[in-house]
Structure 1
Amino acid sequence: MDGRATEPFIPVARLSDLDERGRLVVRVEGTPVAILRIAGQLYAMQDTCPHRGGPLSEGDVDGYLVHCPLHAWPFDVRTGACPSNAGVRLRIYAVRVVGEEIQVAPFSDRVSAP
């Protein structure tokens, strides 16, 4: 967890729901959220690029950067920051795994510590 014991987590999927690339899109409070497995860790972030609305879950991953499939804007899955566009950020969510269940904190703007 990220250190906040009161952080509310909700179950959104199971590990077996991730596709062969380690990706999944779920809805959290009505918002599409991309869950991505990178270097063995799960990250959760808004799935919609703020530039043109591209589905980030379909983008290329390079290290901890996921690139929008429409115009290649990069976003760091750990922070939501866009390194090529200062001030542009995605909403990120704390995510954890309990047993086989993937859980997301719906009101978070940060990821859990590994």
Structure 2
Amino acid sequence: MDEGQPDGRFIPVARLDALDARGRTVVHVGAVRVLLVRVDGRLHALEDTCPHRGGSLSEGDLDGHLLHCPLHAWPFDVRTGHCPWRPEARIRIYDVSVRGEEILIAASDSVATR
């Protein structure tokens, strides 16, 4: 989690208290559903829609850093957006910053390439 002052490319999307008991919430950035999920104390932001059949990843099971689509169990790494089963399948991830109680994500559509 990046604490401190974000640069101008970050936009506020939620507050920390919006996270449910599982450490998740879905926000809308324009027409895009973005899942915020806390794993091992760190927040991640990723596209909420599985590219396979459009399942809502926010409803999927989390195993370590792998979030599984609820429709067909495709796993996606919340840190990279990659599917280990299908290298060509990936979801968009966004950089996250926290300022006080406010969660911000990168406003650009760039895909992080960690």
TM-score, with length taken from structure 1: 0.89
Question: Whole-Å Cα distance in 2 between the matches of residues 14 and 42 of structure 1?
Answer: 12
In structure 1, the gaps of 5 or more residues are none
Structure 2 residue aligned with 1:109: 111
Pairwise CA distance, 1:89: 0.8
Question: Whole-Å Cα distance in 1 between the matches of residues 42 and 87 of structure 2?
Answer: 26
Please give the root-mean-square deviation of Cα atoms over the aligned residues, in Å: 1.8
TM-score, with length taken from structure 2: 0.89
Structure 2 residue aligned with 1:16: 17
Question: Whole-Å Cα distance in 2 between the matches of residues 106 and 51 of structure 1?
Answer: 25
1:38-77 correspondence to structure 2 within 5 Å: 38-77=39-78
Displacement over 3 Å in runs of 4+: none
Pairwise CA distance, 1:29: 2.6
The number of aligned residues is 109
In structure 2, the gaps of 5 or more residues are none
